[in-house]
Amino acid sequence: MNNVPKLFLMSFPRKRESTVDARLPRPVLQTVQDGRGHDKDKPLSEFQLHLRDFNKNRPAVACVWVLGVLYAGALFADFIAPYSFKDEDRSYSYCPPSRIQLWHDGKISRPFIYGTKLTYNDLHARVYVTDQTQSYPIRFFYRAESYRWLGLIPFSRHLFGVDAPSRIYLFGADARGRDVFSRILYGAQVSLSIGLIGVAISFSLGLLIGGIAGYYGGWLDNILMRLCEMLMMVPGFYLLLALRAAVPDNFSSLQVYCAIVVILSFIAWASWARIIRGMCLSLREREYVLAAKTMGVSDFKIILVHLLPHTFSYTIFAVMLSIPGYILGESGLSLIGLGIQDPYASWGNMLTDAMSIVRIQFAPWILVPAFFIFITVLCFNIIGDTLRDCLDPMLIGLLPTKQNVKSSIVGKSAGDLTLDQKRSIKSTENPKS
């Protein structure tokens, strides 16, 4: 310390000097050791380390919350929605969103809405005008149409509602006077669950077939992979349409839903299987696989225990990034009328109306489902991207974290660099890896 020239010392204020990760190579070790150093007896597990990296990424955490809210909305749709998805009132066709009022006679009051009256303007178009003589207070835990929550628990309270004859439309009404807000919640049940179930099916199928093909190799691998290629040869959406055409018209909505899930999974498993197979081809040559064989472990268990878990650092984020594909696939099918049928709601079939530009101009709120699709897809993509960055072993500790950015006093720190730059630095620093 004493040998350091004074000028040099001045440029390093004491407080900052103590942070080891002022220069780039350090943070790698430092962050990892930080986590492990907290409690010597109980080091942070790999999962906790990744979780910590993930938590540092604010947008991704926000996306998790947004998705959480959306999924909660879908789960409690019956309760939150003021009306059922098929509760229609033609006299409110394309009724604009209700404005929630808080001021009454210059005083603050409990939230209420004004009544609406349907008239025609000069061009003989239907317009709704607010009728300030009538006011309807918004009642919370309103007793209305009874339902069974998740098909099990009978209940008749809704989160909010207004007395008849008025109707509350938070996001406006569609052509048949159904509440867009309610239908978005019910539609979320379809659109959001299809992604999860679809990915679960195709992912398990891909893991199983890819694992078997990769582990055994030879003619079995050949047959399975040619099968995959045949599936991947056909452009996805046309295959989707062709398979949908094979499903009978008289299916009930639940059957159609299942059919769509199966079709979407059927299209997607092939690409999974190919990737997993490639990884298993290299993993099966590892010595611990040979070691497991010397212990008499069965082939199936070797695939399950010694091959597939090693693909997870890839598959976890790949799953996240592929969920939007299922959501968009379902929306696409429903949009052109081949998916979920009216009166059942899905974000896709709610947009059928919005295919006409005139209607969008007349009632822009019918585009709201598109906004929800957009948000959901965006969230899944951001989460997937962040997970990829967290799980990439080359990048552990190099992500732009608050800590790294703060400590960037001298020169460039990890926080200022692009991922490519970090990768190159990491590889020059540790040429073995």
Partner 1 sequence: MTPDLLRIEHLSVSLTDTPEKRIIDDVSFSVPPLSIVALVGGSGSGKTTMGLSILRLLSPALNIETGQIIFKGEDISQAGQQRMNELRGKEIGMVFQDPLQALNPVFTIGFQVGEVLKRHTFLNAEQIKKRTVDLLAQVGLDDPARAFRSYPHELSGGMRQRAMIAQAIAASPSLLIADEPTSSLDVTLQAKILELFKSLRDHFKLSVILITHDLGVVAHAADHVVVLDHGRVVESGKVQDVVHHPRHAYTQQLMKTLKV
C-alpha angle 75-194-259 in degrees, rounded to nearest 5: 125
Site for partner 1 in 120-179 (CB under 8 A): none
Report the C-alpha gap between 81 and 181 in whole angstroms.
7
Residue 304 engages partner 1 in binding (rule: CB under 8 A): no
CB of 278 closer than 8 Å to CB of 211: no
Rule CB under 8 A: say whether 310 interacts with partner 1.
yes
| 288 lies in the binding site for partner 1 (CB under 8 A) | yes
The reply on whether position 291 binds partner 1 by CB under 8 A is: yes
- Of the candidate spans 95-103, 257-265, 285-293, 418-426, the one that interacts with partner 1 by CB under 8 A turns out to be 285-293
Which CB, 207 or 335, lies closer to partner 1?
207
Q: Give dist(CA 360, CA 366) in Å, integer.
A: 7
**x-or-dash pattern for partner 1, window 243-282, by CB under 8 A?**
----------------------------------------
Q: What are the tokens at 307? A: 């091959």
* By the rule CB under 8 A, 296 interacts with partner 1: yes
CB of 225 to partner 1, least distance (A): 18
Total chain residues near partner 1 (CB under 8 A): 18
Nearer to partner 1, 68 or 309 (CB): 309
CA neighbor of 340 nearest in space, from 266, 246, 239, 255: 255
CB of 44 to partner 1, least distance (A): 12
- Residue 32 binding partner 1, by CB under 8 A: no
Q: How far is the CB of 217 from partner 1 (least distance, A)?
A: 8
Q: How far is the CB of 376 from partner 1 (least distance, A)?
A: 32
- Measured CA to CA, the distance from residue 72 to residue 68 in angstroms comes to 6
Question: Facing residues of 149 across strands?
Answer: 153
Q: Choose between 117 and 286: whose C-beta lies nearer to partner 1.
A: 286
CB of residue 287 to partner 1, shortest distance in Å: 4
Q: Should residue 306 be labelled a site residue for partner 1 when binding is judged by CB under 8 A?
A: yes
49/256 with CB nearer partner 1: 49
**Which one among 309, 374, 402, 412 touches partner 1, defined by CB under 8 A?**
309
Q: State phi, psi for 163 to the nearest 5 degrees.
A: -70, 145
CA distance 208 to 303: 9
293 binds partner 1 (CB under 8 A): yes
CB of residue 29 to partner 1, shortest distance in Å: 15
Residues that bind partner 1 (CB under 8 A): 43, 218, 286-288, 290-298, 305-306, 309-310
